[in-house]
Amino acid sequence: MVLEPIVKAEITVPDDNMGTITGDLASKRGRIQGTDVRPPNMVCVKAEVPLSELRNYQTELKSVTGGHGFFTMEFSHYEPVPVPIQQQLVAEYKPTEGDE
C-alpha cells in the first residue's frame, strides 16, 4: 500500500470564483470541509487535498482569480493512494526484464 500526504487547505477567493474553485478542488481529489464568508465579497473554502494535487496551485489560483485569490495549507495526515493511481505508479516504475 502506498500512502500520500493530505493537507488542510484554506483557499480565499472572490465570491464569484467559489464555484470554479470548489469544482477544481473536487477534480484534484479534494474534499470540501466548509466555507466561510469574508468581507469584502470574499469566500474561504476549507478542504482536505492530497499534497501531490497542489503542485503549481499558486499559478492556477492566480490565473482563475486574476491575482485576487490566495491559499494556505498545513499537513493533516496520510491516506492510502487510490487503487487506480497505485496501479499507475507500479506500471510506471516496474522494472522491465533485463533491468534487474
Q: What is the pTM of this model?
A: 0.82
3-93 CATH fold: Alpha-Beta Plaits (3.30.70)
CB within 8 Å of 14: residues ≥ 6 apart: 41, 42, 43, 65, 68, 69
pLDDT digits (tens, 9 = 90+) for 36-74: 999 889 999 999 999 999 999 999 999 999 999 999 999
Domain ranges, ordered by start, for the chain? 3-93
48 bridge partner residues: 8, 31
Q: Record the cell numbers describing residue 68, joined without a space.
A: 485576487
pLDDT band with cut points at 50, 70 and 90 for residue 94: low
